[in-house]
A and B are shown apart, each in its own frame.
Chain A
Amino acid sequence: MLSMMDIQKRAETGPVMKSKDFDLAFARKIRELIPKYNIKYDAEQLIVDDATADEIFQAGIELLAGVGLYNTDTQRVIQFSIEELQQVAATARTGPDIVMFGRGKDEVCYQHRTGKDKSSPVLAAGAHGGGTVPIRQEWFSQFVQSFVQEESNKALAITGGVPSVDGIPIKVGTPSEVYCALWENKAMLEVLRRVGRPGMHLGLHSSVTSIGGFLALVHEGFRGRHNIQLSAHVMPELKVDWSRLTLALIVKEWDFVPWVSGMSVEGALCRGPEETAVGMIASMLGQLAYSNAIPVQIWNNTVRGEWSRSQTLWANGAATRAAERNVRLPIGGMVTAEEQFRGTEASLYWEAAASVLYTACGFAYCWSTGWTGLEARFVGEILSATAGMDEQEANKLAKAIYARWVVEKEHATAPKDFPELYDLETVKPTQDWLSTYNRVKDELARMGVPYK
């Protein structure tokens, strides 16, 4: 990790470049690297071998060394040498591979995990919101509770926010951001107390993005080292700004844990899953260069907002494996299907396929598992059942479930929101949703998921 003052100096003295020219440089470089490292997507072999994982990692180093990080405020490039990035990776690889969140009996450990480990990835299934999915103030508490009350769920790695509180919309960078975030956090902590898990990790706060909002949460005592991760990550593709770098420094100085997210987008600057996998690694390395990261999440989608695809499985799995082997940090991610499939039987097949595959690729934790607590349970059972499964067996099983998802999604029902899936009085799944869960689980067992 480089010092933040060094990073700032580079951001103020590096080559001046227009954003568009940086994007083109990125595209040219990544197109050169894929044939050089002979990286090829294979729909039949969704789990890459060790050699391919290492090639993807090396290509990620070369990409970042070749183009750098772009500071959108200074319009300059923060440059790194290959040797510096190798040192960044080596520091991560030889440093702590474990991080604790939560307090007391709710403490949870995220630890580096390989795809062969028999231990299950940690289920840290957050109440995922965002996009156009409505999470309403009226049922926010029940929504959160549905996840928290699942015994197998050890943390809320993300807490989706409500769009408004008492009619006041959350507006980033204004007092309403703080106002609404304080309401949300008070509500969440009340839920934790109610279900007897007061020390649970609450993960990434999705409603607060500003430093002021973060300070307000900490000052009020709602959030501390034990229960928050701050978002100071690189934006696709390889772009940062002063606010992120400043937040990263605060996080480090306070010994908090940053939210590190190796992200890339397929179909824009990256053409296919091979380039996207390399892009995710470069993004992760950029963040490791300036932040004190231990857990790292890996994520990609397409420019059209799709991610429940074979190419995504391959790219996420490949980047997970590349990161797991070469920085040896806890790597995690999400298995949720796209918003338009929320609350459907079809979506459970995607969640299952992704859970099987990413467990075999080396996920150490899984942080978004669908839109209700019942899906957290569903995913947790699969993580647990398939941890340590033979790699080829996992590949075959994931492909079979994925094939089923492809069929099911074609006639998926209309999406359902939380109040249609849970009884808001009892905070239990509706009989219909529970039956769906049981039906899919039975089918997955027939397909070869070795439930415990």
Chain B
Amino acid sequence: MTDADIIAMITELVISLDEEKAITAVQNALDEGYDPLEILQKGVLAGLRVIGDKFGSGEYFLPELMMGADLSEACTNKIMARIPEQANASRGVFLLGAVQGDLHDIGKSLVLRQISLAGYKVYDLGINVPSMTFIDKAIELNADIIGLSAFLDATRPYYSEVINYLRDMGLRNKYKVIIGGVASSAELSESIGADGWAPDAPSAVRLCDKLMGH
């Protein structure tokens, strides 16, 4: 097998969501001295991008995104241990939760998985998240982006509550805040001073990349 074959095999195992074999292949490649960064970028992350594309085309669904995220985390943990610290950075740290009073989580889960697949370190704060919890967690985890999801009209004011807390605590410039969910719109995002609005999971990834300058 050539180097390219080994990397291509890892990519294929990631795409086919064969967690056990993918982890073994990554471990073998590392043990044989392959460049960890190459295994990560050309093997695992390339596979994850295909998973994302397959979701976009309707071939894969949320469970595949979840399995892909789990698989990539397991592979990445092995790879990261061999990568020098300066190369070990994720694309950013992203927190996501459904705002207070909101119990809808399917759309939120999709966004979380897609952003995870794009190479961000993600944290799921769950549903019905008190506004201050977003702030506390952002500080604790040194987040880059806070994602707020809302489905109901009556939960929409909690978007701005989080932003107002950040402003009043002198933290507004420290974090990017993006909004999504049925209750949101581009106009709303602008009116409450959010950093952007994402109507769906792929656009959330694009928005995060844009905000992070990737």
Contacts and interface: CB of A to CB of B under 8 A. Distances in A.
A131 interface: yes
Nearest to A174: B157
Contact of B158 (A171, A265, A269): A171
Given A209-B154, A241-B103, A268 B126 contact: no
A130 B66 contact: no
B193 to A, nearest CB: 15
Interface string A186-212: 000000000000000000001101100
B62, B67, B183, B188: residue with the most chain A Cβ atoms closer than 10 Å: B62
B185 interface: yes
Given A161-B154, A268-B61, A303 B107 contact: yes
6 contacts: A23-B66, A72-B127, A241-B128, A268-B106, A268-B109, A268-B110
B103 A72 contact: yes
Interface in B178-214: 182-185, 188, 200
Nearest to A305: B182
A129 B68 CA distance: 37
Interface string A16-31: 0001100110011000
Given A170-B153, A172-B101, A27 B61 contact: yes
B100 interface: yes
A209 B152 contact: yes
Given A19-B126, A305-B182, A269 B154 contact: no
Interface in B51-67: 58, 61-63, 66-67
A135 B111 CA distance: 29
Interface in B97-129: 100-107, 109-110, 124, 126-128
B155 interface: yes
A79 to B, nearest CB: 21
Interface size class of A (residues with CB under 8 A): 35 or more
B67, B128, B153, B154: residue with the most chain A Cβ atoms closer than 10 Å: B154
B110 A303 contact: yes
A170 B154 contact: yes
Contacts of B105: 19, 72, 235, 239
Contacts of A411: none
Given A239-B105, A265-B106, A305-B182, 19 more contacts: A19-B126, A20-B109, A23-B62, A27-B61, A129-B153, A132-B182, A132-B184, A161-B154, A171-B154, A172-B155, A176-B157, A209-B154, A210-B101, A241-B128, A268-B62, A269-B61, A269-B62, A270-B61, A303-B107
B110 A172 contact: no
Interface in A104-148: 129-132
Interface of A: 19-20, 23-24, 27-28, 72, 129-132, 161, 163, 169-173, 176-177, 206-207, 209-210, 235-237, 239, 241, 244, 265, 267-271, 303-305
Contacts of A163: 153, 156
Main secondary structure of the interface of B (DSSP, over half): mixed
Interface size class of B (residues with CB under 8 A): 20 to 34
Contacts of B109: 20, 23, 268
Contacts of A72: 103, 105, 126-128
Contacts of B110: 268, 303
B101 A27 contact: no
Nearest to B67: A24
Contacts of B101: 171-173, 209-210
6 interchain residue pairs of minimum CB distance: A172-B101, A27-B63, A171-B157, A172-B154, A268-B62, A170-B154
B58, B67, B104, B106: residue with the most chain A Cβ atoms closer than 10 Å: B106
Nearest to A304: B200
A392 to B, nearest CB: 30
Nearest to B63: A27
A20 B110 CA distance: 11
Contacts of B155: 171-172
A163 to B, nearest CB: 6
A28 B63 CA distance: 8
A290 B62 CA distance: 28
A23 B113 CA distance: 13
A235 B157 contact: no
Nearest to A160: B153
Interface in B80-110: 100-107, 109-110
Contacts of A161: 153-154
Interface in B135-185: 152-158, 161, 182-185
Contacts of A241: 103, 128
A20 B136 CA distance: 23
Contact of B106 (A130, A244, A271, A303): A303
